Amino acid sequence: MKILITGSNGFVGNHLCRTLLAQGHTVYGLVRNPNKMDLYDSNFIIIQGDLSLGNLHWVDYLPNDLDACIHTAGLVHTYDTNDFYSVNAFGTQYLVESLKKKYPNKLKFVLVSSLAAAGPVNFGEKKDETSPDFPVSEYGRSKKQAEEVLKAQAPKEWIISIVRPPMIIGPGDTAVLDIFKMVRDRFILLPGLNSKKKEYSFVCIFDLIETITRLLNSDHSLKVYSAHDSVIKFEELIEEIRSQLKIKRIVYLPLPLFIIRFVGFILGLIYLIRPHQLRLTPDKIHELGAHAWTCDPTHSKLSLHQVYQYDLKRTVDVTIKDYQGRNWL
């Protein structure tokens, strides 16, 4: 197949490119800066560009017989919440509008969304494909808007699929790296007094890539959650990392949410004066206050015949080895 991947130098996009190339596909990787792409393969074609309105002339360089687009590009952290909609929602809109002009009849389109588009749940509950969506952050609302744009504007001849992953863990990820570093340093800052007991679904990057490739090979439009069956408490994640790093003791410091909100507010003011890349944005704090971020992968298992191979122990193991190999830990 000939496949366009947006965000091909991102965490999910890079893993996806390597997997599809190994399977013999031809991959067209959209990147803003080709110098940041460290993938060299005769079947990998770099496409330089972005998803801004008026800047999608790169679509003209795609082959006329393109088979699929996997849209992984997106913005996760920002202090200007308008950017979420510019990149996640309108970027998706402009991409769909440009592609359907060139491919009006047949194209497979897979959108990598997020559990944030659905919103959190209470303890003991799980989101599934029939659950109503109540995103609590601008990030989540922008991802939900991207889904709605795709469904409303894609030609009926297209096969469109949406995958909503929860917390993604795996080699090369810089977001969850912060948690591993806290464990290494033996000092765990907890956002909220009950954070140790908060519940999470997770998916290893390798299982998520398997979900995406199965959607790519499906002849049906689907929306699925990609996650391991097990639901973990935050404390279980910390303890698994601690055990594998062979650290004897760690100290938990739970901070009330009003302190976290105050810190986020101050960081926002600092950003206006001197931009920084710290991840504790005011928008992210809306997500940190939730009791549970959990979802049910049953539909993906039944419709895609997927078996999730990476439990928490195996996921943490491959991630630690990768981090240590990169000298990140």
For position 277, what pLDDT does the model report? 67
What pLDDT is recorded for position 274? 74
At residue 278, the pLDDT reads: 67
The token duo for 201 is: 């679904």
pLDDT tens readout for residues 43-53:
999 999 999 88
The predicted structure's pLDDT at residue 48? 92
Strand partners, 30: 6, 47
Q: In whole angstroms, give the CA distance from residue 2 to residue 20.
A: 10
Please name the amino acid found at residue 112. V
Residue 262 is predicted with a pLDDT of 79
Reduced to 3 states (helix: H, G, I; strand: E, B; else coil), residue 219 is coil
Q: Are 12 and 168 in contact (CB under 8 A)?
A: yes
Distance CA(167)–CA(178), nearest Å, equals: 13
pLDDT band at 315 (very low <50, low <70, confident <90, very high): very high
Cβ neighbors of 161 (< 8 A, separation 6 or more) are 108, 109, 110, 111, 215, 218, 221, 222, 223, 224
- pLDDT higher at 160 or 81: 160
What is the CATH T-level fold of the domain 2-169+203-228+295-309, as seen in this structure? Rossmann fold (3.40.50)
**Percent of the chain that is helix, strand, coil (3-state, to 5):** 45, 20, 40
Total length of the chain: 329
| C-alpha distances out from residue 284 to 120, 226, 252, 287, Å | 13, 22, 21, 5
Location of structure tokens 């003209």: 60
Average pLDDT of the chain, as a whole number: 93
Q: Which of 4-18, 24-38, 143-157, 252-266 has the lowest mean pLDDT?
A: 252-266
* pLDDT over 90 percentage in the chain: 78
For residues 239-260, average pLDDT: 90
* Residue 255 reports pLDDT greater than 90: no
291: Cα within 13 Å, side-chain hemisphere = 6
> Is 261 a residue whose pLDDT tops 80?
no
Look at the alpha carbons of 291, 316, 176, 188 in this order and tell me if their dihedral is positive or negative: positive
pTM value > 0.85: yes
List Cβ neighbours of 147 (8 Å cut-off, separation of 6 or more): 111, 113, 117, 162, 223
- Residue 271: pLDDT above 90? no
**Cα separation of 205 and 12, whole Å?**
7
Tens digit of pLDDT for each residue in 171-199?
A: 999 989 999 999 999 999 888 778 899 99
Joined tokens for residue 316: 């943490």
Amino acid at the residue 24: G
Contact present, 277 and 302 (Cβ < 8 Å):
no
Q: What is the residue whose two structure tokens read 């929306």?
A: 223
pLDDT at 186: 95
- Beta strand segments in 83-192, E: 108-112, 159-164, 167-169, 187-191
Sorted by where each begins, the domain ranges of the chain are 2-169+203-228+295-309
Written as six digits, the tokens of 310 are 């990476």
pLDDT at 193: 79
